[in-house]
Structure 1
Amino acid sequence: MPNLIDKSAQAGDELALWYVPLDELINSFAAGNPKLHDIGGLCESFARHGFRDPMAFDPALNDGAGGIVEGNGRLEALLQLKEQGHAPPRGIKLDGNGDWYVPLLFGVGAGSQAAAEGYLLDHNNSVLAGGTFTALDTSNLYDPDAYRDLLERLAAEDALPLTVDDKDFRLLLEQLGKGGGAGGEGLIDPDEVPDGENVETRCKRGDIWALGSHRVMCGDSTNREDVEQLMCGRKADMVFTDPPYGVSIGDKNAFLNKLQPSERCLENINDDTLPPDKLKPILIAAFRNLKAVSSDKCAYYVTAPLAGKPGMIMMTAMEEVGLQVRHVLFWDKQQPTFSMGQLDYEYRHEPILYTWNKTHKFYGKGEHKTSVWSIPKPRQSKLHPTMKPVELIKNALLNGSKSGDLVADIYLGSGSTLIACQEAGRVCYGMEISEKYCDVILARWEAFTGQVAGRVGTA
């Protein structure tokens, strides 16, 4: 990359803009850059607005070989557009050979690798400065493990970015510690759920909590503003969610307890007592919000009721927002659900509706890769009557996402998707409307990880 280094030296302490061949920048990405990017969104922006924000080059990056200090996502998006055969957006030049030339800023270099990396972080974090965003909020711009590693290295060189002071740094290390991306076994059984009556009361409606790199909001999945606040500008790579079925499971358990006394949960789930005609618009609103914050490559795993009107309502609610169900998977619970003799055949399975947005990638790393997943029910699910086993969710995660991916669940319940993400090394952004269940989610994750959740905002 000597040509680019020479241009930097020529610019010196002044800014200079040159158009350079796009292909010359293929190897100029900033190594170890932790920033996450919405490449699809950038491509759409270029198509509508043109390329109006030049990238910047710093010769100190990549151990003196030089690299992009501003605009790594823009570079990736341009390379993708060119590779896919699109015409260059306005602002990009095209020569007679069909080569793309892109505007690149030179000059005012950082002087050292650490200073350049600190500027890279400040340039990103400053976008959120001036509002009510905390250092934990800005950390959501990054891959948690890569961000933590870079901050630790910069701190060792006394070169933390201006947007992360010593107090922020200590808090970030605590919160990012073993968050999604690391993976591994927990301190307790993953399906163990604290007794809801004995957990600390902490959560209020509108609260947003950081649990390592995960994020949980006590909010309403049908409210677009709540969902957008939860996601903080990020897009989901995968969805696993267990919406209400409209089957009044608490009422059913009350009846069963009369026949055979037990500790079954008697509390109905939010919206689970609604008749089908009233449940459907709620599901449509939630699915529409979920789709709006999901990437073009997002895969969806949605647990659903069995055959009949409730099952059809779930499928049609998804289809109404553009989520055409492509496959139906089946969870074999290895034991039937007691129907009190009302059914000729006792059900021992539940469907999982599977689909995706424009495209997806099937990673196939889960143990179960056929349409039937034979996984036993949790031994105990007193608090959440329809709780899914963590192994079931983890199988979906391993098949439908990769390490570090963002997984959304807007019906988080007792937090099983969160625990599955913790084990599988994914990042979970979850929504739960019940304050009581949110308290349980925090206590469950803290018991599983040995870490402490922290409130990072409130609506």
Structure 2
Amino acid sequence: MSLDQLTSEIREVPADYLANLPDTEQRIFKNYKIFPIQILVKAEWNYKTENPERSNKLQESLKRHGQIETMHVRKLETGYYEVVNGNHRLDDLIIIGTTHVIAYDHGEISLAEAQRIAIQTNELRFDADPYKLGEILSNLSDIFGDEDLFKTIDIDQRLLDRAELEYGRNAPIGDMIEDELEESNSTIVYSERGDLYELNNHRLLVGDSTNDDDVEKLMNGKLAHLVYTDPPYNINYAEFNESRPENRGRNWADEYCSEWADSMSDEDYSQFLFKFISLAKRHSIEYAHYYVWFASKYFHELTTAFKLNDLSFDGVPIVWVKQVAPMTYAHYRKKYEPCLFGGKDSVTGNSHDGKRRWSAEVMDDNVWEVDRDHNVNYVHPTQKPVKLAARALRNSSKEGELILDLFLGSGTTMICAEQMNRICNGMEYEPRFADEIVKRYLRYCRDNNVECEVKRNGEVITLEFFEGELTI
């Protein structure tokens, strides 16, 4: 049947009957209508989960008693009617061959109003999908405000808590862009130690994260609101290869680093960790959060560095779970990397003089499942995806705040900060990687129509700067 034919079959309560009712009842009963079932469409946003067993029972009830529960609908711009509450019932009515149904017509109300009514008229025969319910409640809260919203919605607190947790845990972190990196085949290095790059509001210094003067120059008197960084793991690739004359692995440090040797003694590495954390703390606000990626073998050394700097930490690290493990010769390939989370009053979540730094709407969990970048896009041996940084930035910073990354590497933290309207100050020791960071930022701005100005030691540069014949 055509839409016009279906529309012509809609039947209302007779006007002469309504005329004998009180005004308040007239306003209610005039909206009850009989609809041809073909004019009804399911709501794509329905948060109720499928349950075949309950569906079979509902069909038996409908066969025996008929439609004794009313559905709620709203009129769409297409002329069809979307089912606001009763989507499973619609499916089952169609299965048993029903041609017409009675429903309450809410008219041409907005999607937000429809979703609010769906939760208000919630029936518990079918379970709620906590993520979908959490998403709807989050959107409705933005539109109506919690005080107004929960004046009319009575929802089980356990279901509400679960919905908030599930949505907060899995909510999309904006529309984060994993930009396409271009592997550099250039043997020319343009950056030099001491170079200061200003990339719009961000800063990059080619320097030493354990050097007081370098960190002072990078921060320029500003204090960071969040420290998110990925220091060297002190993996001695050369030593591994000496013990393995066949099937030798790739020596990343030898291949990528000009002076840095990622093979310090445990004592020197402990001093290294203590020093950069102490400088990060000196140049951060008192209640800043710290996220530090590390190799499991150095968990004790890293936590000791936190303790010596009077920073608390969670004894159970955050774990990044990758979709695939890197290719290695180990019997058990490591599909995860740990990250230590800490900072003053950060672990328990207890408020201290109103200065608690958690900025996400709900608490998060400590297993982060994020796809790693494909090897062909690697410009740095320990490169991490933008969405990984986004989770920390979402939870522990606000728009406009300053993020400090003392080991900027491939520049992921800066790209993430750009997308999330934060500011990133980053340090990178290797001039070669500094080149890659600046080129990556320039390409990101070009490809995403972001207005961009990059200065090197006060002079404006473009991508063409990295195509010249300069050598060092």
TM-score range, shorter chain: 0.5 to 0.7
- What CA distance in whole angstroms lies between the structure 1 residues aligned with 2:240 and 2:264? 14
- Correspondence 1:454 to 2:444: no
- Correspondence 1:326 to 2:314: yes
**1:257–1:382 Cα change, 3 Å:** farther
- Correspondence 1:349 to 2:344: no
Q: Deviations over 1:330-361 (max 9, x none)?
A: 111122344424x4x43211111001235532
Partner of 1:273: 263
Give the structure, 1 or 2, with the largest relative contact order (CA under 8 Å, sep 6 or more). Answer: 1
- Correspondence 1:203 to 2:191: yes
Partner of 1:369: 364
Equivalent position to 2:325, from 318, 336, 354? 336
The letter of the residue matching 2:386 is V
**1:250–1:447 Cα change, 3 Å:** farther
1:253 CA drift (Å): 8.8
**1:248–1:423 Cα change, 3 Å:** farther
**1:257–1:385 Cα change, 3 Å:** farther
Partner of 1:419: 415
- What CA distance in whole angstroms lies between the structure 1 residues aligned with 2:242 and 2:186? 22
Instruction: Within 5 Å, give how 1:16-95 maps onto structure 2.
Output: none
**1:257–1:229 Cα change, 3 Å:** farther
Partner of 1:395: 391
Partner of 2:291: 301
Partner of 2:282: 292
**1:261–1:430 Cα change, 3 Å:** closer
Partner of 1:385: 381
**Bigger mean CA deviation after superposition, 354-363 or 245-254:** 245-254
Aligned residues: 269
- What CA distance in whole angstroms lies between the structure 1 residues aligned with 2:238 and 2:381? 7
**1:227–1:263 Cα change, 3 Å:** closer
**1:279–1:265 Cα change, 3 Å:** closer
1:245 CA drift (Å): 1.2
- What CA distance in whole angstroms lies between the structure 2 residues aligned with 1:408 and 1:262? 30
Instruction: Within 5 Å, give how 1:70-219 maps onto structure 2.
Output: 190-198=178-186, 201-219=189-207
The letter of the residue matching 1:445 is Y
The letter of the residue matching 2:292 is V
Q: Deviations over 1:282-320 (max 9, x none)?
A: 1211111110000012111111112x3x22212212222
Q: State the SS of the aligned residue for 1:206.
A: coil
- What CA distance in whole angstroms lies between the structure 2 residues aligned with 1:378 and 1:317? 30
- What CA distance in whole angstroms lies between the structure 2 residues aligned with 1:387 and 1:253? 22
Equivalent residues of 2:295, 2:337 under 8 A apart: yes
1:324 CA drift (Å): 2.6
The letter of the residue matching 2:269 is L
1:403 CA drift (Å): 0.8
- What CA distance in whole angstroms lies between the structure 2 residues aligned with 1:237 and 1:321? 17
Q: State the SS of the aligned residue for 1:216.
A: strand
Equivalent residues of 2:237, 2:252 under 8 A apart: no
The letter of the residue matching 1:454 is K
Q: State the SS of the aligned residue for 2:186.
A: coil
**1:259–1:315 Cα change, 3 Å:** same
The letter of the residue matching 1:394 is A
Q: Deviations over 1:59-98 (max 9, x none)?
A: xxxxxxxxxxxxxxxxxxxxxxxxxxxxxxxxxxxxxxxx
The letter of the residue matching 1:428 is C
1:196 CA drift (Å): 3.6
Among the aligned pairs, what percent are the same residue? 29
Q: State the SS of the aligned residue for 1:247.
A: coil
The letter of the residue matching 1:333 is K
**1:185–1:210 Cα change, 3 Å:** farther
1:210 CA drift (Å): 0.6
Equivalent residues of 2:319, 2:338 under 8 A apart: yes
1:206 CA drift (Å): 1.0
Partner of 1:434: 430
**1:283–1:406 Cα change, 3 Å:** same
Q: State the SS of the aligned residue for 2:255.
A: coil
Length-normalised TM-score, structure 1: 0.53
- What CA distance in whole angstroms lies between the structure 1 residues aligned with 2:411 and 2:242? 24
Equivalent residues of 1:199, 1:440 under 8 A apart: no
Instruction: Within 5 Å, give how 1:225-264 maps onto structure 2.
Output: 225-248=213-236, 259=247
Equivalent residues of 2:237, 2:250 under 8 A apart: no
1:185 CA drift (Å): 6.8
- What CA distance in whole angstroms lies between the structure 1 residues aligned with 2:266 and 2:226? 27
The unaligned stretches of length 5 or more in structure 2 are 1-172, 346-354, 447-451, 460-472
**1:349–1:413 Cα change, 3 Å:** same
- What CA distance in whole angstroms lies between the structure 1 residues aligned with 2:227 and 2:374? 25
Partner of 2:25: none
The letter of the residue matching 1:399 is N
1:383 CA drift (Å): 3.0
1:254 CA drift (Å): 11
Please say which structure displays the higher CA radius of gyration. Answer: 2
Q: Deviations over 1:214-236 (max 9, x none)?
A: 00001111111110110011000
- What CA distance in whole angstroms lies between the structure 2 residues aligned with 1:382 and 1:260? 20
- What CA distance in whole angstroms lies between the structure 2 residues aligned with 1:442 and 1:378? 19
- What CA distance in whole angstroms lies between the structure 1 residues aligned with 2:261 and 2:175? 34
